[in-house]
Amino acid sequence: MNTEFLYLIAEQLYLNASGHAMSNRNWIAAIYKSLLVANRGDDEEILWTKYSEWKIDHNCRAARSVAKKNKSRLISCDLVKTDSNEYKLLVQIEKGIDIISKTVLYRQDAFPEGLWKVKNPKNDTVLSNQFERDQLFLASLGDNVNSPIQDELISVKENTVKPVSNSSKPEKLDISLYSDLDEDYDTEFGDFGAEEQVDTISSVEYARNMKFEALKLLLDQVRDKYHQTEEPLQRSFLLTVIGAAIFYLPSLNAHFSGYISVAALKGFIRGQRRVKDHIFPRKRAASELLSRDFSLKDLKSKYHDHLAEFMYVTYSENSQLINFYEEHDDHNSALEAFQIEKFPMAGVERFSSHRELDQFILFLRGKQVENKTTEDLNNLLGEFRAA
């Protein structure tokens, strides 16, 4: 299998995974290495070179250069699950005037142990451990693929991910409403295992409904007690507990506000973590839900329409914004007070989806954005959208 083709596939898988909280710049090289192992029998050890870099990074960049020189691009990538560890990727690649079709294997066990066992002089590894490998693999499969349902077909075409049901009458579904970014497998699906041969959408909805019903039960039991006590520490603790329960409700693509802080954008390009900052703080959300009785339907609407919206910030910015409402009128006022720059800037259309944000981040790679102003980044966004 041509290495430039494997790089293009690795780039798409990395793009799928880039919304994950653990995602970092090592992931694309790790994915590329796994594809080499699975499809070319690559047995080269993970090496740290005299140029102070991982050799897999060098190999990945070399394959990228070849793909760029040849103007090759991935047109489509269909993921077909063969078992819990392996997917077949049915890909089409445009190279010059040719459209080339290939079948590529993508296996969880093809990520060599050296990725998390071989250390460089700074005592760092490419991946932290097997858990990070597992998170990478699941996230790279794209929206809704981390469902425990077997025999799914996930199509990635024209930057759109759509599930194909095993039913003879496929459901029409806006996948953005059903795509959790950061929830772990066990958090989302609890005790549901692969043996539960049920429809994907109904199983996801069932798991989520159970969470909302449990929260309603908790609220109904606590609400009167909360209003009866005047002890501030008890009231604060109850808000913290309810706020934590709200935190574990589904976080969906549809909840993304379309904004990221400039520092988080630049940091993510350097491989740092971006953090969700909820526009409606958790303790304030808890107070809102304890203010009156909510039907299950109203509780869901309140959460999805108001309480779940978030933007991305850095870890330190997220710490600054904790309980911002105690001193500031709204989230934007707090951002301004803490000198946190919001991107896109005022007057510019926000990101339409995670996918647009992640594609813009890929567009920025290699453009030396560290010293660029918000206006410079805005101009680059204009170039990206015009391309």
Examine residue 153 and state whether it is found in any structural domain, yes or no.
no
Examine residue 181 and state whether it is found in any structural domain, yes or no.
no
| Residue finishing a domain among 89, 122, 141 | 141
pLDDT at 144: 35
Is there a single domain that holds both residue 255 and residue 361?
yes
**Residue 74 near residue 8, CB atoms below 8 Å:** yes
pLDDT at 382: 93
**Residue 260 near residue 276, CB atoms below 8 Å:** no
C-alpha to C-alpha distance for 204 and 200, rounded to whole angstroms = 6
| Residue finishing a domain among 117, 141, 165 | 141
Examine residue 177 and state whether it is found in any structural domain, yes or no.
no
pLDDT at 171: 33
pLDDT at 358: 83
pLDDT at 209: 84
Examine residue 258 and state whether it is found in any structural domain, yes or no.
yes
CA angle, 265 then 161 then 256, to 5°:
40
Domain carrying residue 338: 201-386
Q: Which of 78, 95, 96, 79 is nearest to 87 (CA)?
A: 79
pLDDT at 262: 94
Q: Are strands 310-313 and 275-278 parallel, antiparallel or unpaired?
A: antiparallel
Tally of structural domains, the chain: 2
Is there a single domain that holds both residue 122 and residue 215?
no
Examine residue 300 and state whether it is found in any structural domain, yes or no.
yes
Q: Are strands 310-313 and 256-261 parallel, antiparallel or unpaired?
A: parallel
Split the chain (387 residues) into runs of 10 and give each run's mean pLDDT.
92 84 87 96 93 92 91 87 88 88 94 95 91 90 44 32 35 33 34 38 68 94 93 92 87 87 89 83 91 94 92 89 83 92 92 87 83 92 90
Is there a single domain that holds both residue 207 and residue 343?
yes
Is there a single domain that holds both residue 77 and residue 208?
no
Is there a single domain that holds both residue 128 and residue 248?
no
Is there a single domain that holds both residue 208 and residue 329?
yes
**Residue 273 near residue 315, CB atoms below 8 Å:** yes
* End-to-end alpha carbon distance in the chain: 30
Examine residue 32 and state whether it is found in any structural domain, yes or no.
yes
> pTM (2 decimals)?
0.52
Chain centroid to Cα 321, Å, comes to 22
Number of Cβ within 10 Å of residue 95's Cβ equals 16
